[in-house]
Amino acid sequence: MTNSELKDKLENIVSGINFTSEEGDFLSLEIPKEMLKNFLVKVHEHDELAFDYLFSVTGIDLGEELAVIYHLESTKYRHMIQVTVKAEGRDNPEIDSIHDIFPAAYYNEMEAHELLGIKFKGHPDLKHLFLPEDWDKGYPLRKDFEDINMLIRK
């Protein structure tokens, strides 16, 4: 299925999608965070889409707000989508956890929480993976993070 055909199929199944690019390997789209779980269940269970493989979950700092980018593939049909969900703001960024739909998201959500401060509602254990448990110096992957070591060297 081409990206154009995939776009048409998705438009018929789910409303409220903002398609951002049909170029390249992925059909790129953005959805409101309130739609995330419903959208993923639909594309996962739909016979003609069968998105059964989540191969990437990436938190990103867009400046004004934080977002999460999900890459999904259908191992049956070999088509792929890139889904962006904005957390709306920087003070208390929150997105639903999807580990119950795609278990592969479990550790990626922990990483985005630890390094960017995105809370994943419904995740059972948002603990630290890389930083010390008592880390309180901010979120190292945010654009406004100031590296403590750089400040000491000045």
**What pLDDT, on the 0 to 100 scale, is given for residue 151?**
53
**What pLDDT, on the 0 to 100 scale, is given for residue 92?**
92
Whole domain around residue 54: which residue ranges? Answer: 3-153
pTM value is 0.92
User: In CATH, what number is assigned to the domain containing residue 17?
Assistant: 3.30.460.80
HEC string for the chain? CCHHHHHHHHHHHCCCCEEEECCCCCEEEECCHHHHHHHHHHHHHCCCCCCCEEEEEEEEECCCCEEEEEEEECCCCCCEEEEEEECCCCCCCEEECCCCCCCCHHHHHHHHHHHHCCEEECCCCCCCCCCCCCCCCCCCCCCCCCCHHHHHHC
- Counting the structural domains of the chain, the total is 1
Question: Which residues of the chain are under the pLDDT cut of 50?
Answer: none
